[in-house]
Amino acid sequence: MQIKELTIELKNLGLKNPPLLKEEEHLKYINDWRGQYSGKAAAVLKPTNTLEVSTIVKFANENGISIVPQGGNTSLCGAATPDKSGNSIIVSLEKMNNIRQFNKEAQTITVESGMILSQIHDLVEKEDLFFPLNLGAKGSCMIGGNLSTNAGGVNVLKYGNTRELCLGLEVVLPDGKIMNLLSELKKDNTGYDLKNLFIGAEGTLGIITAATLKLFRLPKSITTIFVEADKITNAVKLLNVFNSNFPDRIESFELMPRVFWEVAQNNIENIKLPFENLPEMGVLIDISSFAKSEITQNKDGILPITITIENILEECLELNLISNATICTNKAQSQSLWSIREAAAESEKKELENSNLLKCLKHDISLPVESIDNFHEEAQGMISNFLPGLKTIYFGHLGDGNLHYNVFGNGSLPDGFEGKGTDLTSELYKIVHKYNGSFSAEHGIGQLKKNNLKCHKNEAAYSLMTVIKSQLDPKGIMNPGKVLYL
Ligand SMILES: Cc1cc2nc3c(=O)[nH]c(=O)nc-3n(C[C@H](O)[C@H](O)[C@H](O)COP(=O)(O)OP(=O)(O)OC[C@H]3O[C@@H](n4cnc5c(N)ncnc54)[C@H](O)[C@@H]3O)c2cc1C
């Protein structure tokens, strides 16, 4: 179908919101958050309900038009950016942000997929409930995007990825059929687990239109601690100490080493550092309490939680596991540290724009926690031999073994954004593989890591993925050019 005909047809679809057809209206939708990918679209559509999504998908399928589903467009791997042909239509879910059902007793909420993550937080917290998915993009990413990328974030250690937080889904399939798997049930063994097929599929198998989410009791208080260790091994030992003292209570355990603080200091105005000097191997920890003034029992008797934490930290100081520590005494102090952590992606982006480092190879890897130190040592050896002057900016969710391991360099660093991978990235992934890790921990595949998926995924599993895709979407209309080579 020619674009002109398409334009007329789209106008006739009877959507509540007319399609955005002019190129200048598309800018927000056709460029990715990092400024690394840009494409073109024939139109941007903003359906307001599932029936409208179904009408659009059916129309696209009948006419062989490709669709790029889009939430908040915060993908870090070009997953929501159309290709450059200009033949795709973007389906933005931003107008679908209603609550379908809020069951406080069962601790579940069913929302449409365009609801912004922080809005879900605000809604449920008013009822003393808690939705634990939390990431730096929470003010703009949407739950449909979170599900489609199986997003991780800072609370995975205790609550799991988005997949673990989802009880049910409603999906519009590539032929326009509506598949309603919305359910509050904790047990439902009725054949294949289709819900999980669409979680993490990055819009290649259908459009998620609504989801039922698991909620938790809102902790009465969170104690935030920042510590400095001298090396990763000691930070990992500290994790074990906290795990044994506060089982199931560690909400987050984030690694913020010196390189992280250097970038933060360069790019965040009026930054408040936790200590006088930049921390060598900083760790930000949140511990939850479910009683108002919690007391804990240990070998010293019954004590308030802060005293217990102080005692544990003192022991860690004596054992040289850590060299410095601070316990936040108020919310402002804790928020100040968390805002620095949450601004990590933004700070890195500014660093690239403002420094003489022109290129960045992004790696979002996971490793068994106990292997991280050995991996880091070997990776640093490889990187320093690869090209002189490269700088690794790493940080991440140490508690669940997920590091953002980004290599910055000048013009001589090969470009890593076209999905081809680079020699350096391949070498790095070989080391990740050697330590039984994954090259893709939480951001997904998108365009950036298609090649890596083909190289590193088990061959039979990759082939099964292509079979599933071809069966569900034989015309290949759903988010073409992402995840798989077909
Ligand atoms: C500052 C910052 C911090 C971040 N921190 C983290 C982090 O800690 N952990 C983490 O995992 N990620 C993180 N990310 C990456 C990103 O925010 C997540 O991947 C997020 O889940 C994407 O949500 P979105 O609504 O923006 O989706 P989009 O970017 O719009 O889309 C992402 C993918 O999902 C598909 N999609 C979107 N909506 C739907 C739908 N309704 N149905 C089917 N497919 C759909 C798109 O086609 C695309 O393939 C961060 C990003 C930024 C910018």
Q: Which atom of ligand 1 lies at the shortest distance from residue 161's CA?
A: 11
Residue segments in the chain with a per-residue pLDDT below the cut of 70: 1, 292-304, 414-421
CA atoms within 13 A on the CB side of 101: 15
Q: Which residue segments constitute the domains of the chain, with CATH numbers given?
A: 222-342 (3.30.70.2190), 356-472 (3.30.70.2740)
Tell me the residue ranges of DSSP E strands in 98-177: 99-103, 108-112, 129-130, 166-172
CA of 376 to the centre of ligand 1 (A): 27
363: which 2 tokens?
């790696």
- Mutate which of 135, 205, 363, 478 for ligand 1 pocket (most atoms within 8 A of beta carbon): 135
Give the DSSP H/E element, type plus range, for residue 89: strand 89-92
Task: Give residue ranges with CB within 6 A of ligand 1.
Answer: 33, 68-76, 79-80, 93, 113, 135-137, 141-142, 144-146, 148-149, 151-153, 202-203, 207-208, 345-346, 442-443, 479, 482
For ligand 1, atom 52: residue with the closest CA: 137
Q: Which atom of ligand 1 lies at the shortest distance from residue 134's CA?
A: 8
CA of 79 to the centre of ligand 1 (A): 8
For residues 93 and 114, give the distance between their C-alpha atoms in angstroms, rounded to a whole number: 5
CA of 150 to the centre of ligand 1 (A): 8
Q: What is the pLDDT of residue 420?
A: 44
CA of 77 to the centre of ligand 1 (A): 9
Q: Which atom of ligand 1 lies at the shortest distance from residue 68's CA?
A: 47
Q: Which residues contact 131 (CB under 8 A, 6 or more apart)?
A: 109, 120, 121, 124, 165, 213, 215, 216
- Mutate which of 149, 260, 400 for ligand 1 pocket (most atoms within 8 A of beta carbon): 149
Q: What is the pLDDT of residue 374?
A: 97
Q: Environment class of residue 309 by beta-carbon count within 10 Å: exposed (0-12), middle (13-18) or buried (19+)?
A: buried
pTM above 0.85, yes or no: yes
Q: Which atom of ligand 1 lies at the shortest distance from residue 144's CA?
A: 41
Q: Which atom of ligand 1 lies at the shortest distance from residue 75's CA?
A: 29
For residues 146 and 155, give the distance between their C-alpha atoms in angstroms, rounded to a whole number: 14
Q: Which atom of ligand 1 lies at the shortest distance from residue 34's CA?
A: 53
Q: What is the pLDDT of residue 76?
A: 95
**One-letter amino acid identity for 444?**
G
CA of 217 to the centre of ligand 1 (A): 26
CA of 198 to the centre of ligand 1 (A): 14
User: What is the distance of C-alpha 113 from the center of its chain?
Assistant: 16
